Amino acid sequence: MFLAKVIGHVVSTKKDPAMKGQRLLVLRPQVVDPENPGQLRDGSNTVVAVDRLGAGTGEMVLFCSGSSARQTDGMKQLPVDAAVIGIVDTVDVLGQQLYKDKPGA
């Protein structure tokens, strides 16, 4: 599993029929900054992931990739490599809170 921030979404009108109705998000993975372990920083890549939870832009999510992405309900037959599996409430590292979801968001 990995942490990521939702930075956008993808719309694709022409796609594999199995992907019809699947919501696609653009994710920016987050890593603990090795120079300052009290903060998260953007990873160097982006990921497109299927989202069945309704995550929004700016939210922090958990995602998995590879064959693990197809282990969630209803995903076994889909041609996906990444799936959002959780919307994050808080992230604590070394006793310090690095992320807290905005109340009511």
CATH number at residue 80: 2.40.50.220
Nearest CA-CA partner of 82 in 36, 26, 42:
26
Q: Is 9 part of any domain?
A: yes
Q: Is 46 part of any domain?
A: yes
Please give the distance of CA 33 from its chain centroid, rounded to a whole number: 19
pLDDT of residue 104: 56
Q: Is 29 part of any domain?
A: yes
SS3 call for 2: strand
Q: Is 105 part of any domain?
A: no
Q: Is 24 part of any domain?
A: yes
Cα separation, 68 vs 53, in Å, equals 17
Q: Is 47 part of any domain?
A: yes
Q: Is 27 part of any domain?
A: yes
Host domain of residue 66: 2-100
What's the structural domain count of the chain? 1
| Least trusted range by pLDDT, from 29-33, 46-50, 69-73 | 69-73
- With 0.75 as the threshold, say if the pTM is over it: yes
